[in-house]
Amino acid sequence: MPVENGNGPGKSPCHPNPCLNNGVCRENGGGYDCVCHEQYSGPHCEERNYCSSMPCLNGGSCVEIPGAFKCGCPFGFLGTVCEERDACHPNPCKNGGTCTRSDTESGFVCVCKEGFTGEHCEDTRQCFVNPCMNGGTCHESETGYECSCRHGYTNANCEVHVCHPNPCHHGGRCEVESGHFKCVCPPLYKGYQCEIPHPCFTRPCQNNGVCIDSYSGFSAYPDNWDSHGYLHYLCLCQQGFMGPNCEMDICKRCDPNAKCLNNTCVCIEGYFGDGFSCKRVPHPCHPNPCKNNGVCAELQGGEYDCKCPEGTTGKHCEIKDACLPNPCQNGGKCVEAQDGTTRCICENSYTGANCELPIDPCTSNPCQNGGTCMNDKGKAVCRCKGKWTGVTCRECSCPKGNKAAVPPEMGQVCDAEGECRCDGSMTKTETGCKEGRTSTPCSSSPCKNGGTCTDTGPTTYACSCPLGFTGTNCEKREYQ
């Protein structure tokens, strides 16, 4: 409806703008209309429309009130504009618990009905209905509950009385002691539940044997104490009887090769044993205890001696000697190695694996100055040449009658005319050659055992060893 203009003729009703809150004024005949913004209303846009912006969230309904608005929130939401979710909707509390909103992390607290507990009232308070029977006291625990039972009762819920039914056998009386049962047994029984009868009650000892049982207070027992399950007893037998129950007549138990003397079985001569079992005394050589074809010889007292064949030793000829028979010939010594093999240590005149080869004394050529060596039964015999003589042809015999030993280092030789002369720088004397010549490495005869020395330099030499010897100076015997 247009608003009348009170400004008089000739003036615009919209000047000045009568519309408030940025409302738009439009002339209408002699009056004007205000076109208001969405949040305002009224003839001059003077009234604010609070619900026009739909401020209520989550489906809330807006209701304007003087100078403001109020939101009507749907179920499950709350707050000025329904912006908060209601932690109590739907109700998280179980078993009839009441939900109350709180400032806790979950936003609610459950007030549980009696008999229930837990954050959501989900746990049953098992002691609320008291499952403990026969006056037992219930205690809540992390795993549920525990019952403290009255005297004489046991089990999880105190439902069992330790003496019902009566655990004691043979009329035993049941009593409660420290929460457990104890049996008071009648005279002829014992045991935890009176299950053990008196062992002598059944008279187990025969032939007038006397029964002694563990009830009698014995703390030590003979070696032949008998045990039949729980029945502990000992039979003291009359003379001539034995066995756990004195059931055996000793003389009737003797071996056929035994005789009974003073109620004792004794094996007859030629037999041995305990009298109940007698065996013939064995011949020490039957069967033959000697190994490797050894011959058994009987000795006194049932002993024997083994005569071992060659190549064996030991009490029963069980040890084989690799050196028997001796494989080493000509006096050689046999030595057995750890692996069972043998080797021979030969005498000086022999060599070879079994010392079977004689050493040729002429191998080292002991004959000097062209003499010829001959083997005479293992000994070297020299046949000298010319005027040379001596065992090894080292002596010179000349017409003037001079005769002197001529070791090679002295340089004395016999010339073609039968005269003795000195070699090299040696000076001749009436008895031989005068020393003065420079010696060579072989001058000291370093080669042993008939070895031949050869000068290889001013200060060096080499030895050529005979068969059977080795080493720098032929000083080592070579064993094959």
CA 355, CA 479: separation in Å to the nearest integer? 9
> What is the per-residue pLDDT across 303-319, written as a single tens digit (0 to 9) for each?
889 999 887 888 899 88
Indicate the pLDDT class of residue 5, thresholds 50, 70 and 90.
low
Whole-number Å distance between alpha carbons of 36 and 18: 12
Alpha-carbon distance of 440 to 462, in angstroms, equals 12
User: Mind listing the domains of the chain with CATH numbers?
Assistant: 441-477 (2.10.25.10)
Are residues 461 and 442 in contact, defined by beta-carbon separation less than 8 angstroms? Answer: yes
User: What per-residue confidence (pLDDT) applies to 479?
Assistant: 67
Higher pLDDT among residues 382 and 377, named by residue: 382
Quick: pLDDT tens for 427-467: 454 434 444 445 678 888 889 988 999 988 878 899 999 88
In this predicted structure, what is the pLDDT of residue 225? 42
pLDDT above 50 (res 416): no
The pLDDT value given to residue 216: 54
Could you give the 3-state DSSP secondary structure of residue 127?
Answer: helix
Structure tokens at 367: 């004959």
Distance, in Å, from the CA atom of 113 to the CA atom of 402, rounded to the nearest integer, reads 153
Q: Given pLDDT bands bounded at 50, 70 and 90, which one contains residue 256?
A: very high
pLDDT confidence of residue 226: 44
Q: Is 288 left (phi over 0), alpha (psi -120 to 50) or beta?
A: beta
Give strand ranges (E) for 43-198: 47-48, 61-65, 68-72, 77-78, 84-85, 98-101, 108-111, 116-117, 123-124, 137-141, 144-148, 153-154, 160-161, 173-177, 180-184, 189-190, 196-197
DSSP assignment of 282-327: PPTTSS----TTPEEEE-GGG-EEEEPPTTEESTTS-EE-TTSS--
Percent of the chain residues past pLDDT 90, beyond the cut:
15
| 3-state secondary structure (DSSP) of residue 408 | helix
pLDDT for 434 equals 47
Could you give the CA distance from residue 185 to residue 78 in angstroms, rounded to a whole number? 79
Distance, first Cα to last Cα, the chain = 151
Give the dihedral of Cα atoms 150, 156, 159, 161; nearest 10 deg. -60
Name the amino acid, one letter, at 449.
N
For residues 446 and 199, what is the distance between their CA atoms, to the nearest angstrom?
Answer: 103
Q: Can you give the pTM of this predicted structure?
A: 0.26
**What pLDDT, on a 0 to 100 scale, did the predictor assign at position 255?**
94
pLDDT at 42: 83
**Predicted local confidence at residue 421, as pLDDT:** 56
Q: State the chain's mean pLDDT as an integer.
A: 80
pLDDT score at 305: 92
Asked if residue 464 lies in contact with residue 456, where contact means CB atoms within 8 angstroms, the answer is: no
